Amino acid sequence: MSEADMAIIKPEMMMKSYIWLETTDGSIQQVEQEIAMYCPMICHEVLQKGLGAGSSKNCAISLPQRVNPAMLSLILDYCRFHQVPGRSNKERKVHDEKFIRMDTKRLCELASAADSLQLKPLVDLSSRALARIIEGKTPEEIREIFHLPDDLTEEEKLEPLKNLMDDPRIRLLNRLYAKKRKELKEREKLKGKEVEERVDERSVDDLLSFINGKDHKVVKTSKSKKKNKKRKEHKNKVSHNLHSKQQGVQIVDETASSLGGVSNLPSMEEDIFSLKTDSEDGYVDDGMDPVLKEMLDREVEDFARRLNSSWVLSSGQERQPVHFSINGNGATRRLTAFQVMLGSLILLMVFGWQVPEFCGVTVKGNSRVRISGLTGTEGGDEWFDLSYIILDEASDPPKYDNVPADREDLVRDVLSSTLLFPFELQLCISELELL
């Protein structure tokens, strides 16, 4: 162009600057700058690549693959309307409602294109529209609308409804326990121990006797009442089994209803004691971890020796509630009472909520409580064992007795540090039972 031409053209060009955009199909178009810059992605590209970017056909800004020319045109229309500052909220809303009316296919494309251009208001607008389409429709209808392949087997479709008889909290517990066993196994392997296979030979009845069908309480005020339990019939069985091999799985049961009918028991028992977990979790359990079993056996014997007779409960005897206290800021709050079952071992799971102060466990009288939980550290979870804690309601902080030397630090750390374990299960148990 001659100088004269340039002089004529330049002023016009100065008034409006354009950006060149290229879509993946190769087509290039020219768009007013303020409209194009309304899209964050384009804005970033221009800023990042410097002044030259998009200023001419040759160095056009290439748009992501999900933006085809039709969608680009739509999006630019949207930007053209909204980048004008003077519009009222109502105006914008009315425009959007009209704008979003289009067939489902285009709606999906639009959402996709807006997403790749990072244009959040339009992403939200199209997402809401798609959500409205999905909402309230049967799966068949949704498949029809979006042309989804019906490629799940009948069994797969029923999966979330599987195991209707189980108390899901138990399964959660199982999952956690399985995870823990896995870790233990690995640790033992590292230590070079041999893993023995042991078979659990307890009778079904014995195992079933630990199942507790109590209701748990709502904690309202500090004057919560002790509920009567239906455990009397289990008492004798449990004490009888004191010295036999026992499994350390704790069953936490809250609502009676979930275990109401006898029909529930078999599947539950099956689930707990064979430690089957949801296949989705990827945990395969075929029995009790032998190493842990050994540990538990030792503890059973230990406990039997140290048993404090005042604590022996037999049918009809006094039951003592366990109070889980959190000592935050010096005040002791009773959260709920714990119900612990299963023979001589009382296994409590301590859950991590982010309490900078320690959490303690308080049990009335002299009792031996084993507390296990997870504490998160930089490296990952560590399953600690706070056994041998003597809990005394009056003591603050709780004392611990006979903690093995190598555990002392850990116990102290746990009691004073933040428990980071994801809060998977918080027990609401009603009472402590000790045998």
Partner 1 sequence: SKIGGESLRNRDPMKKDMISELPEALLLHILSYVPTEDVIATSVLSKRWKSLWKMVPKLEFKFLSMLRIEDVYRLLILHKAPFLESFHLKIEDAKGRSDISFLIGIAFSHHVRELVLNLCHDDQKKVRFPSVLCSYNNTLEVLELAQDVLLDFPSRVCFNALRELHLCHVEFKDEESVCNLLSGCPRLQDLVVERYSSFDVETYTIAVPSLQRLTIEDDGSQDMYGGGYVINAPSLKYLSIKDLYGIDFCLIENAPELVEADINDVSHIDNENILASLTSAKRLSFQFTVEIKYPTGSIFYQLVSLELDIKGINWWNLLSFMLDSSPKLQSLKLDGSCWEDCPVGWEWNEPKCVPECLLLHLETLVWRSYGWQREDEKQVATYILKNAKQLKKATFDPAYVGPKELEKLEKRREMLNELASVARGSTSCHLLFESK
Q: φ and ψ at 210, to 5 degrees?
A: -85, -5
Indicate whether 25 belongs to the interface with partner 1 (CB under 8 A). yes
The single residue among 255, 274, 416, 417 that binds partner 1, judged by CB under 8 A, is 255
Cβ at position 127, least distance to partner 1 in Å: 4
> Footprint of partner 1 on residues 394-433 (CB under 8 A)?
418, 422-428
Cβ at position 171, least distance to partner 1 in Å: 6
Q: Which is nearer to partner 1, 397 or 404 (CB)?
A: 397
Query: How many residues lie near partner 1 (CB under 8 A)?
Result: 73
The single residue among 18, 81, 353, 383 that binds partner 1, judged by CB under 8 A, is 353
C-alpha 313/C-alpha 310 separation (Å) is: 8
Cβ neighbours around 294 below 10 Å, total:
14
> Footprint of partner 1 on residues 160-179 (CB under 8 A)?
160, 167-169, 171-172, 175
Closest CA to 122 of 220, 39, 18: 39
Q: φ and ψ at 430, to 5 degrees?
A: -95, -45
Q: Which amino acid is at 386?
A: L
C-alpha 424/C-alpha 405 separation (Å) is: 30
> Footprint of partner 1 on residues 27-86 (CB under 8 A)?
none
- Determine how β-strand 18-22 pairs with β-strand 61-62: parallel
Residue 68: exposed, middle, or buried by beta-carbon count in 10 A (0-12, 13-18, 19+)? middle
Helices (H) and strands (E) in the chain, counts: 15, 11
Q: Which is nearer to partner 1, 191 or 220 (CB)?
A: 220
Q: Which is nearer to partner 1, 46 or 211 (CB)?
A: 211
Residue 431: exposed, middle, or buried by beta-carbon count in 10 A (0-12, 13-18, 19+)? buried
Check if the beta carbon of residue 107 is closer than 8 Å to that of residue 131: no
Residue 406: exposed, middle, or buried by beta-carbon count in 10 A (0-12, 13-18, 19+)? exposed
List the structure tokens of 361: 């466990």
Q: Report the alpha-carbon angle 334-336-340, nearest 5.
A: 125
> Footprint of partner 1 on residues 132-161 (CB under 8 A)?
132, 134-137, 139, 142-143, 146-152, 156-157, 159-160
Indicate whether 253 belongs to the interface with partner 1 (CB under 8 A). no
> Footprint of partner 1 on residues 116-135 (CB under 8 A)?
123, 127-128, 130-132, 134-135
Indicate whether 356 belongs to the interface with partner 1 (CB under 8 A). yes
**Contact string 299-338 vs partner 1 (x = CB under 8 A):** ---------------------------x-xxxx-x-xx--
Cβ at position 47, least distance to partner 1 in Å: 24
Using the rule CB under 8 A, give the single segment among 43-51, 111-119, 300-308, 392-400 that binds partner 1. Answer: 111-119
List the structure tokens of 305: 């020796």
Cβ at position 105, least distance to partner 1 in Å: 5
3-state secondary structure (DSSP) of residue 362: strand
Q: Which is nearer to partner 1, 280 or 301 (CB)?
A: 280
C-alpha 78/C-alpha 96 separation (Å) is: 8
Using the rule CB under 8 A, give the single segment among 36-44, 83-91, 252-260, 266-274 that binds partner 1. Answer: 252-260
> Footprint of partner 1 on residues 201-240 (CB under 8 A)?
216-221
Q: Which is nearer to partner 1, 34 or 424 (CB)?
A: 424
Q: Which amino acid is at 227?
A: K
The single residue among 111, 374, 414, 415 that binds partner 1, judged by CB under 8 A, is 111
